[in-house]
Structure 1
Amino acid sequence: MDKKMPVLFLAHGSPMNVVLDNEYTRSLIKLGQELEIPKAIIIISAHWKTRGTYLTYSKKPRQIYDFYGFPEEIYNIKYEPDGGEKYAEMIANELKEEGAELTDEWGLDHAAWGVLKYLYPNANIPTFEMSLNALLTEEQHYKIGQKLAKFREEGILIIGSGDIVHNLRAADYDIYGKPHEWAEAFDKYIINAIKNNNHDILIKYKVLGDISKLAVPTDEHFLPLLYVAGAQDKNDNVEVIHRSIQNSSVSMSCIKIG
């Protein structure tokens, strides 16, 4: 049997992080040095929301620079791994009941390559993305994560890339600006829920009312966490790889489970 892979929730925050040397980027480099080498990587990306569940399917997925107005050096970064088609097929097959489809109309967006360039800088691991189906409930997203869990045993690294707190309207231009108290409070509350295996809190995060509306004004950066929680085993060790708040209102918390 292959060694069971961990499952990761990685924050990506501002595209500036792909060229910065800070505690967050250093924590990803360190994590990459410690991780087993997976057979393939599936990334559930905050940056690919669709009507339906889709998996990227191509020999060489195109690199997507899904942002504008940043320094040119960011657009010069190349990250072009193999697309892991046979692994994408395996997962699409597992998610037949969910209507999962393969597509070459997307590639690797910055939620994917922006973190992978630190974890696996040689881009030598087959990598594909899964979209967030906008038609699903929180519980349905979580249940897909549960179905993905078995692939950990087959050497596939599951990564959810988003941000626990992501409110750009409340953001400070200074990436290292003072965090909002509500941002730190929500981040801590959600991390504790993962540590305590209390997935109900994650699925029903909206019951917190005003603080959840501030922390998660739109859900695409939070939803990847539900897939990661779904793939969590009750005996898994939970390790917070990094914690910080950037731009006052973007959580950069990164979590390793397993």
Structure 2
Amino acid sequence: MSSSSTRLPAVFISHGSPMLTLEPDRPAHQFLRTAAALWPKPKAILAVSAHWETAQPAVGAVAQPETIHDFYGFPPALYRMHYNAPGTPQLAARIRDLLAEAGYAAALDAQRGLDHGAWSPLTLIYPDAEIPVLQLSIQSQRDPAHHLALGRALSALRDDGVLIMATGSMTHNLRLLDRSDSQPPAEWASAFAEWMAQKLAQRDDAALLDYRRQAPFAAQNHPTDEHLLPLYVALGAATPGQPAERIHASFAHGSLAMDSYSFA
């Protein structure tokens, strides 16, 4: 067991479009390029991506995960990108056991690789791809409280050199994006992101769990909430009562909030 002084945070990364990897002028790209300096180098990374949805929790247990290009209509350069980090089936089994102890029947998946919710930010944060990476699925038919409990069950991993990296989007309404990227941030998106920032700083977990009713423009920002559910895994893995730190805030395409958070 590592000492508490080297405990890794849990983080939430708004990963945005996979194009972010090819857009060095974007503030979020620049942030991710320097994000690794914000915490100690992990021994392994558990990515909790909005893009892996299963009925019950599943853990990737692949020795060499493939790079999944789970998107359409993008430039060929994106499809040529590969993130060749090793997996860690041994850690996958431990995560399954931790979830079982908390009452979750989690499965090991020996086939699934890394989707773009995991590899696109990691390409920028850890471009050398030498740190083992595995994924945990979300359950999009379940509520934030379910995902908070998943994170709570896995919080001990932070003491053993595992970076819990939840990856989704602070706002995610693709129908309302400004494709020209020429407009200032939409007021409805800014209001939601600022409400979340305030509640995360206050660690008002009750309000955060009830965001659908309490946050301004919640349904407009998240017509479905799979891109916010990973945040609750990071929140659950956090030290109770400790304020979250907003480590990045910017917008893309007028309404895509790229906020990222670190949880002590």
For the aligned pair, the TM-score class normalised by the smaller chain equals over 0.9
Alignment map for 1:66-85 (pairs within 5 Å):
66-85=70-89
After TM superposition, the score normalised by the length of structure 1 is 0.95
* CA displacement, residues 128-167 of structure 1 (integer Å, 9 cap, x when unaligned): 0111123423211111111111111111100110011100
1:87 aligned residue: 91
Q: Is the 8 A contact 1:111 1:161 kept in 2?
A: yes
Shift of the alpha carbon at 1:102?
Answer: 0.4
Please give the secondary structure, in 1, of the residue aligned with 2:40: coil
CA distance in 1, matches of 2:183, 2:94: 44
Q: Deviations over 1:86-118 (max 9, x none)?
A: 111111111112111100242101100110011
Question: RMSD of the TM alignment (CA)?
Answer: 1.5
Task: State how far apart, in whole Å, the 1-side matches of 2:40 and 2:241 are.
Answer: 19
Provide the identity percentage: 33
Q: Secondary structure at the match of 1:207?
A: helix
Is the 1:33–1:119 contact (alpha carbons within 8 Å) kept by the matching residues of 2? no
Q: Normalising to structure 2: TM-score of the pair?
A: 0.93
> What amino acid maps onto 1:29 in structure 2?
R
SS of residue paired to 2:217: helix
Match runs of 1:118-129 below 5 Å: 118-129=124-135
Q: In structure 2, what is the equivalent of residue 7 of structure 1?
A: 10
Shift of 1:237: 5.6
CA shift at 1:210, angstroms?
6.7
- Provide closer, same or farther for how the CA distance between residues 176 and 146 of structure 1 changes in structure 2, counting only shifts above 3 A: farther
Q: Residue 188 of structure 2 contacts residue 216 of structure 2 at CA under 8 Å; is this kept in 1?
A: no
Matched ranges for 1:162-181 at <5 A: 162-175=168-181, 177-181=183-187
Equivalent-residue separation in structure 2 for 1:107 and 1:92 (angstroms): 17
Asked if 2 retains the 8 angstrom alpha-carbon contact of 1:32 and 1:118, the reply is no
Q: Distance in 2 between matches of 1:238 and 1:130?
A: 22
Is there any run of 5+ residues in structure 1 with no aligned partner, and where? none
How far has the Cα of 1:170 moved from its partner? Answer: 0.9
| Shift in CA distance, 51/156, structure 1 to aligned 2, threshold 3 Å | same
The reply to whether residue 65 of structure 1 matches residue 69 of structure 2 is yes
Pairwise CA distance, 1:236: 4.1
- What whole-Å deviation, never above 9, does each CA across 1:5-55 have from its counterpart, x for those lacking one? 011100111111011112111111111134311111001100011111101
Task: Select 1:18's aligned residue among 18, 21, 44.
Answer: 21
Would you say the 8 A contact 1:44–1:132 is kept in 2? yes
Runs of 4+ in 1 over 3 A off after TM superposition: 234-238
Alignment of 1:227-242 (within 5 A): 227-234=233-240, 236=242, 238-242=244-248
Structure 2: stretches of 5+ with no match in the other structure: none
Deviations 1:213-258 (A, max 9, x none): 1011111101001111111114646332211121122110011222
Question: Aligned pair count?
Answer: 258
Give 2:37's match in structure 1, choosing from 33, 36, 40.
Answer: 33
Structure 2 residue 161 is matched with structure 1 residue 158 = no
Q: Which residue of 2 aligns with 1:141?
A: 147
